[in-house]
Structure 1
């Protein structure tokens, strides 16, 4: 591999020669030089974060007279729409419902694993974001299984078509009982309905299988972008489909500019016109909400829209305000999209997409995630589905052109909200122009009074522990609920991904390190309203919630995990919530323990990570089991 500037671990190049094709390897070699740029920007991220923590500084807006880093675009020009954006392609004009989930399963045969893609493409969703990031497990070679399954499905390989026919029958049996009609009338025709979209891993993550020729782990963003586009662009083009990506975890316009350079370089390498690849951007970071027009401008002809999420964004605000003792989030259940800083964040996004570019083009706003699944008691399902529909109606009224669902069963429950309106999108709907005042900045970190309770703490800890365990088992997307509700079918499981564990532990860290005060009495613990969240109380609650998981049945906690990945999940949670400084990414501690079930090894790795970060400000993001 030396002539290609990359090193692939073990014998994966042979095992996955349908993914690591000669064309893909040549493109990876061509793109590998961006690895140093990614690493440099991630160093700058940590330095900015460290300076803000040390100097107790809030995130601010760019100077309007400055130029956006890595570009010659003036900030004021970006804000005024003096840049060339993208027209919205035909297959993205109507995206009422986008589903999301991985295209692969852990420890599964090809025929079983690829069922994920069949469910997605037969669901009736207008688009499906196949996740390479938060919802995709990374044990073993799952990222490559994900790529393989997508390639087979997009090419309509016989293996995929056989599975799709079987899955269509299963979906219809469910829908006839629940909805009263078959979801899939013509399964072959249905496969062509849904726009295929891929979410790359963020710049902060490293690929587990590739290093550059200097021995540095290759940025996962480079691997995901290159493999997906190279392996599928010709088939998508033949089908008249756009090449569409979701870009996650971008914090600044400078980072977006690097993404734009990578997209343009790959297009040039493959002989595409610049702007052929279209991208949505997930607004998951507080810093990004301060420069939405600047991000649009630097992504230029690639950019088609923003998505507003919940868990990741809440976590980013918590992280950015870790230094401020007065900033304390309430129970996670209270932080909905209409809460304080969330409401202001959503408003900025809808105003940004409805600001025209120099050619009068607007961008799309894809609303947030619906995590409910219609599985449970009749009463529980009915109540949850009413809430899901009400949430969709709210977003539609507020200006979203569509939203996400986390499970195929939700598509036909939520999609009618937009069908009734009938308009393909809400491009160009009139909203006030964006402003950049101190009041705007204050609104993006606005805390409003809401409950902080023992029940809330138990929910935070229980779901976080379960999520870490699921991650270790290869399920980065999992249906979860607090242990006290196991066996209660009136309380539904929710589809959760990486961000769900991260924000829950972030809030617990806040409550402990900032001395949160409870708003209600709790008879079980003796806590009174006004009491402070203490280390002793945390340890009691952690042990009690962990004990419930050890006693849980196999349906909720795999028996084999109770002596392998669950103790490691608890070790990570223990360290994260009591650490004197806030660890920047929960996923880092999980990633360095992938494919490891030895608690002692995990403890050593966690200690190494925390020491490196404290002493050197350096994150450990590489695969520790990959020695080139």
Structure 2
């Protein structure tokens, strides 16, 4: 193990590199954002923030090429990686069996319930499942500190919650490279939210988790290229040196949530090979990325979201290619999220939800996935039983399979189906409901029997933008057909908006920030240019 580097030995004088808290005071802030922690955050931002901004500019240039007619493809300059004989480093003991992982926000009660759910791993999500209020982000970090120290408990008037024996193994998902933490600045500018989330967890907990083999483990979201993965690798190398950890102590799983990343899975594994243990099918964000990347190409219009399933077309191809790639390189191939949650007071609907969970997980395990995700503790057992029935070992990495190689073209094959007025209404309603909850500080929201996160709203508004852009044919409820237009959107939006007002009542409608959510949804769904992310303009008004 290398000797830790003290703050005093860094090349920049301490008084000049301290990050500054500019947000309002929130609970636990003094415990989390200590002077030494802020010094470490400032060092991360100064060293790696400039390259992050260059890579974000590269995203825009790449999208310009796609808008002009180019299609995603494998990088020509990395053929030697794809042709080479190499594997990623072995996974640590805590990440060998990953058959059922549960994900959720970083609020205290939900974290405790997730740890105790019976899942093999729990991903504490600072990204899509959490609304990034400053209070939420700081509370999440305090909860991670308490978990690491064996002190994660919660007392209410009715019950005391505590992490039990044999809890799920912790993984942490920081926010994506595209997001900033406006409440902490370095040199007068907001710092990277990715480095904020990662840096605080590593500074406070990295060494303690490494000491007893519990971590530090991460999920990396929304990467669009191997260059972005390589930046993370640089961050890991630096952080391990500063904290006195052996190189390779940090272990990560990368979510393949973007279309461009699907063409660079081997490259991502390669540049992170000392630190990575697997890839994950981030299916909802992947659908959003497919629409966003191919937005100017009429031949890739998708039908209603409910018809875009993992069992066929570009989603099936992406899943199988991920399995093929991971197993060839000795990595875990993780399946995607099952968004179903228990349905109270409706036995038929509840049974249907569990049936969908089991069918989805059986498809995944038979295809070769080594584990899967669920969104609710009650769904862990159903997913585990399905994987146990079809996966006798701890994973399927070494299992020999006869399967056709997935072509580059297969990754683009769009789903066929219908675009309906009901689908349009659902997109508007779910989008508004989710954004309103997000603006009120909730990131994981049950809507119509599904646990929805930020990707839900992204798909909803991106689909409408795509349908408007290309004048897609919409099947109306009376059986007739109409081209998608501003008039049809406005008519449907007005109907949904009025129904929500009636359902909630005026006061709850206003206090729940539904008018703001509705305006934001319409702006991002009908603007001339498709905004890159809904959460960026939403963050600007989150705590306004």
Give the TM-score taking structure 2 as reference length: 0.92
- Please give the per-residue CA displacement for 1:302-332, whole angstroms capped at 9, x wherever unaligned: 0100110221000101011111123211000
Pick aligned residue for 2:269 from 296, 299, 302: 296
Change (3 A) 1:294 1:567: same
- Please give the per-residue CA displacement for 1:373-424, whole angstroms capped at 9, x wherever unaligned: 1123011101111111111111010111111111112112221112234321
Counterpart CA distance in 2 for 1:207 and 1:448 is 37
Q: Secondary structure at the match of 2:253?
A: strand
Q: How do residues 76-475 of structure 1 correspond to structure 2 at under 5 angstroms?
A: 76-83=79-86, 85-104=88-107, 114-157=108-151, 160=153, 166=159, 190-213=164-187, 215-356=188-329, 362-376=330-344, 377-420=346-389, 421-431=391-401, 440-475=407-442
Q: Does 1:24 align with 2:41?
A: no
State which drifts further: 456-465 or 132-141: 132-141
Counterpart CA distance in 2 for 1:577 and 1:21 is 41
Pick aligned residue for 2:525 from 559, 577, 586: 577
Q: Secondary structure at the match of 1:251?
A: coil
Q: Secondary structure at the match of 1:123?
A: coil
Displacement after TM superposition at 1:191 (Å): 3.8
Counterpart CA distance in 2 for 1:139 and 1:334 is 34
Displacement after TM superposition at 1:13 (Å): 9.3
Whether the 8 Å contact between 1:351 and 1:432 is mirrored in structure 2 is no
Displacement after TM superposition at 1:141 (Å): 2.2
Displacement after TM superposition at 1:562 (Å): 2.7
State which drifts further: 450-459 or 76-85: 76-85
Counterpart CA distance in 1 for 2:160 and 2:382 is 19
Displacement after TM superposition at 1:544 (Å): 0.5
- Please give the per-residue CA displacement for 1:54-77, whole angstroms capped at 9, x wherever unaligned: x221112111xx2xxxxxxxx233
Change (3 A) 1:229 1:318: same
Q: Secondary structure at the match of 1:32?
A: helix
Whether the 8 Å contact between 2:445 and 2:451 is mirrored in structure 1 is yes
Change (3 A) 1:567 1:422: same
- Please give the per-residue CA displacement for 1:183-218, whole angstroms capped at 9, x wherever unaligned: xxxx76x443310110011100001321111x2211
Displacement after TM superposition at 1:296 (Å): 0.4
Displacement after TM superposition at 1:432 (Å): 6.5
Displacement after TM superposition at 1:83 (Å): 4.3
Counterpart CA distance in 1 for 2:383 and 2:418 is 29
Whether the 8 Å contact between 2:26 and 2:134 is mirrored in structure 1 is no
Q: Secondary structure at the match of 2:381?
A: helix
Aligned length: 528
Whether the 8 Å contact between 2:106 and 2:136 is mirrored in structure 1 is no
Counterpart CA distance in 2 for 1:458 and 1:10 is 38
Counterpart CA distance in 1 for 2:279 and 2:263 is 14
The aligned residue for residue 470 of structure 2 is: 514
Displacement after TM superposition at 1:279 (Å): 0.2
The aligned residue for residue 502 of structure 2 is: 551
Counterpart CA distance in 1 for 2:423 and 2:24 is 47
Displacement after TM superposition at 1:121 (Å): 1.0
Displacement after TM superposition at 1:563 (Å): 5.3
Q: Does 1:40 align with 2:43?
A: no
Counterpart CA distance in 1 for 2:384 and 2:335 is 13
Q: Secondary structure at the match of 2:40?
A: helix
Q: Secondary structure at the match of 2:541?
A: coil
The aligned residue for residue 6 of structure 2 is: none
Counterpart CA distance in 2 for 1:433 and 1:263 is 35
Whether the 8 Å contact between 1:117 and 1:153 is mirrored in structure 2 is no
Whether the 8 Å contact between 1:81 and 1:355 is mirrored in structure 2 is no
Whether the 8 Å contact between 2:117 and 2:380 is mirrored in structure 1 is yes
Displacement after TM superposition at 1:228 (Å): 0.9
Q: Where do 5+ consecutive residues of structure 2 fail to align? A: 1-13
Q: Secondary structure at the match of 1:382?
A: helix
Displacement after TM superposition at 1:430 (Å): 3.1
Give the TM-score taking structure 1 as reference length: 0.80
Whether the 8 Å contact between 2:284 and 2:456 is mirrored in structure 1 is yes
Displacement after TM superposition at 1:564 (Å): 5.9
Counterpart CA distance in 2 for 1:38 and 1:373 is 37
Counterpart CA distance in 2 for 1:52 and 1:521 is 32
Whether the 8 Å contact between 1:326 and 1:514 is mirrored in structure 2 is no
Q: Secondary structure at the match of 1:326?
A: helix
Counterpart CA distance in 1 for 2:189 and 2:496 is 39
Whether the 8 Å contact between 1:13 and 1:20 is mirrored in structure 2 is no
Counterpart CA distance in 1 for 2:246 and 2:160 is 37
Q: Secondary structure at the match of 1:196?
A: strand
- Please give the per-residue CA displacement for 1:512-566, whole angstroms capped at 9, x wherever unaligned: 1111113x4522xxx614x312221110100111111111148xxx943435621
Q: Where do 5+ consecutive residues of structure 1 fail to align? A: 67-74, 105-113, 169-186, 357-361, 482-492, 597-628
Whether the 8 Å contact between 2:17 and 2:186 is mirrored in structure 1 is no
Q: Does 1:533 align with 2:484?
A: yes
Q: Secondary structure at the match of 1:315?
A: helix
Change (3 A) 1:380 1:11: closer
Counterpart CA distance in 2 for 1:154 and 1:161 is 15
Pick aligned residue for 1:50 from 48, 58, 64: 64
Counterpart CA distance in 2 for 1:14 and 1:572 is 29
The aligned residue for residue 505 of structure 1 is: 461
